[in-house]
Amino acid sequence: MNAFDVVGIGNAIVDVISSADDSFLDLMGIEKGIMQLVERQRGEMLYAAMKDRVQAPGGSVANTLAGLGNLGLRTGFIGRVHDDALGRFYARSMEEDGTAFVNPPVAGGDLPTSRSMIFVSPDGERSMNTYLGISSELGPDDVADDVAGAARILFLEGYLYDKPSGKEAFERAARLCRGAGGKAGIALSDPFCVDRHRDSFRHLVRDLDYVIGNRHEWESLYQTDLSSALEQAAADSGLVVCTRSGEDVILVQGDETARVPVRRVVPVDATGAGDQFAAGFLYGYATGQSLETAGRMGCAAAAEVIGHFGARPETDLKALFRREQLI
Ligand SMILES: OC[C@H]1O[C@H](O)[C@H](O)[C@@H]1O
């Protein structure tokens, strides 16, 4: 029996969250609604400018694992934090959220634990400014055989391709998992990330077992409109999932297509919507649900997280799924 139902690998990031209106974003030169990588100095400047900031564990794939841990699956996260206050907070929080943080915080070195300064606008949009710190050093040595090789399902973060060592870690993890008979898939992360790594990601769609992305990411990947992009993706990949903020989610596996309706609501904070969609979907995938049920689980988990600040669920997702008659 595998030690883990789902193992994820990605950037281990502490989120620092505060509210800000559009004029503040303009003043600070922050592009609304995307994730921008920032240098340490700019990160410190933005941190200092945040009013009533709240600190929470984040990181895209790690957020998904927290959702899966909440749902009772056996989960592990491969990430890299420094042995500083933020890093110890992060490792402890992952464990408290039900996910094994398999690599201990790293002592020594200059780079601190990663943090993302996230500004939430009154319309619920989030603008993320991430200083990668020690996470930029995540590499193949962080990927243990008895973690990636012991996963039934592996979930990989597209953002890792931004650093050569992250890419090597990603590829080693996928090799170990699939070599031991597990399934590996990727979250495309964001359209700019797709733009930076288009050729590599096109290969991954062909090589991996499932791919999750939103409409902008799929359009960027194939540089065409959504329906042509999904047609190509379905021909390339075993299982394709496309979220479309506020519109039906589309899931395609071989000849089967499911469309899952989404209730349109104004988010309190959109941070983590895609991550929790992935958690609900992967719970369905791991427990052998139909495409449609897995998609509905994704939508339910995403709807929960956008109803409050922060990128991780605050309620019992299994109870939520029961109420929605999904389990
Ligand atoms: O997807 C949301 C996450 O992306 C960024 O990596 C932040 O850490 C945030 O928690």
Tens-digit pLDDT string for the chain (327 aa): 789 999 999 999 999 999 999 999 999 999 999 999 999 999 999 999 999 999 999 999 999 999 999 999 999 999 999 999 999 999 999 999 999 999 999 998 899 999 999 999 999 999 999 999 999 999 999 999 999 999 999 999 999 998 999 999 999 999 999 999 999 999 998 899 999 999 999 999 999 999 999 999 999 999 999 999 999 999 999 999 999 988 999 999 999 999 999 988 899 999 999 999 999 999 999 999 999 999 999 999 999 999 999 999 999 999 999 999 999
CB 80 within 8 A of CB 103: yes
Q: Kindly give the number of the ligand 1 atom that is closest to the alpha carbon of 159.
A: 6
Q: Which of 271, 275, 309 to mutate to test the pocket of ligand 1 (most atoms within 8 A of CB)?
A: 271
pLDDT score, position 264: 87
For ligand 1, whether the C-beta of 311 sits within 6 Å is yes
Choosing from 89, 116, 132 the residue with most ligand 1 atoms within 8 A of its CB, the one to mutate for a pocket test is 116
Which numbered atom of ligand 1 lies nearest the CA of 271? 2
**Position in ligand 1 atom list of the atom nearest CA 15:** 8
ipTM above 0.85, yes or no: yes
CA of residue 303 to ligand 1 center, whole Å: 17
Please name each of the domains of the chain with its CATH number. 4-13+59-113+134-324 (3.40.1190.20)
The Cα angle at residue 89 between residues 7 and 282, in degrees rounded to 5: 25
Give φ, ψ of 68 to 5 degrees.
-70, -35
Residue 312: Cβ-neighbour burial (10 angstroms; 0-12, 13-18, 19+): buried
Residue 110 burial (CB count, 10 A): 8
Give the contacts of 182 (CB within 8 A, at least 6 positions apart).
2, 149, 151, 152, 153, 154
Whether ligand 1 lies within 6 angstroms of the CB of 113 is answered as no
Task: Write down the pTM of the prediction.
Answer: 0.96
